[in-house]
Amino acid sequence: MGESVSSDSPSSFVKSEGLVGMLPLVLQEIVQNVKTQYETLPEVVWSHGQPTHEDMAILQKEAFSQSPFDKVNFRKEMWMQLQAGHAELLCKTCKYGKVLVICMKGANLQISWPLWGRILQGFQVSARICWFAHPQKRVLPGKGEMVSAEHVNGGYTMPCDTRAIVIYRLEEAIRVLIHELLHASCTDNHELSVPFMEAKTETYAELFLIGYASRGSQTLAFKLWSEQSKWIQEVNTTLEVNHGVRSLGDYSARYTLARVDELRNLGISLPTLTSSSSSSSSSSSSSSSSFSARFTTPTMDRHIQK
């Protein structure tokens, strides 16, 4: 992913583009690397392609394979929609890989292909992305119910293997792409337990997402980080209050509560929520059955879709 990022960097005051704010140093470095990438490397060119027999075989295999993450079988559902003529298959190729998308006909994929290209370019890989763009969003279960994989997960891949990176939700696809690319690019520390490893991967995925969503702008990165830091705390509060999530013994904690410790390890402390934010969180907690289980703030979307 370009230059390495120190894992023990303290936060520092950053003045950039007329804005004075507290941008964590590790995020500052990521944003600077993205800016350098945009300034020194050409934009990635995408073209329409035709899926190969191997592509189709892999898509079908992933659609029907059992996965501990996709317990609802979103992948199979999208494959069946394709066979029934209600969904379509898109194939986009570039220097850094291929994206095979099964989506409902006429669906808005809500993505920026140039941004996806930059992310693949940043990882310097040649990857096959199998994207089953199921429209089901992440929603928490009823109050008191356990939060499991079917509520929060959206993709998987094998470590050090870019032949089939699987994404199976439309929502937050770009964040899942970065998360799975980190696994596929051999960044996993296998001395850690799976929950700890996932917490570290998810934390970095969200920091990289902010870097790419900002296109290298420290000002925009500061704004996005401010929103994301609030979102992390609001989601965590809802999980703790309504679902009893307390530790890594709770499945969803590896992607949510554990981020706080990982951020702290990077020298990043989350700001204290204001009373209005706490009130908003409490309101959301009172009706968690309709509360989003997405990992990143919805305000991020408008910056990753253009």
Residues 176, 216: one domain?
no
Residues 29, 149: one domain?
no
Residues 142, 235: one domain?
no
Q: State the residue range of the domain holding 254.
A: 12-40+211-304
Residues 132, 251: one domain?
no
CB 11, CB 25: distance < 8 Å: yes
- 260 occurs within a structural domain: yes
Give CA–CA dist 260/240, Å, rounded: 13
Residues 69, 123: one domain?
yes
Q: Is the pLDDT of residue 53 over 70?
A: yes
Give the max Cα distance, the chain: 57
Query: What mean pLDDT value characterizes the chain?
Result: 89
Nearest to 234 by CA among 291, 305, 301: 291
CB 119, CB 126: distance < 8 Å: no
Helix crossing, 194-213 with 173-184: angle to 10°?
Answer: 120
CB 35, CB 216: distance < 8 Å: yes
pLDDT tens-digit profile of 39-49? 999 999 999 99
- 205 occurs within a structural domain: no
Give CA–CA dist 127/142, Å, rounded: 38
Q: Helix, strand or coil for residue 87?
A: strand
51/305: higher pLDDT:
51
pTM of the model: 0.90
What torsion do the CA atoms of 223, 227, 229, 235 make, to the nearest 10 degrees? -170
Residue type, 15: K
pLDDT tens-digit profile of 184-214? 999 999 999 999 999 999 999 999 999 999 9
Name the strands in the sheet holding 155-156, side by side, starting at the edge strand that comes first in the sequence.
Answer: 47-48, 87-94, 97-104, 127-132, 165-167, 155-156
Residues 240, 218: one domain?
yes
pLDDT tens-digit profile of 79-105? 999 999 999 999 999 999 999 999 999
Nearest to 58 by CA among 116, 155, 153, 128: 128
Average confidence (pLDDT) over 255-283:
77
DSSP 8-state symbol, 163: S
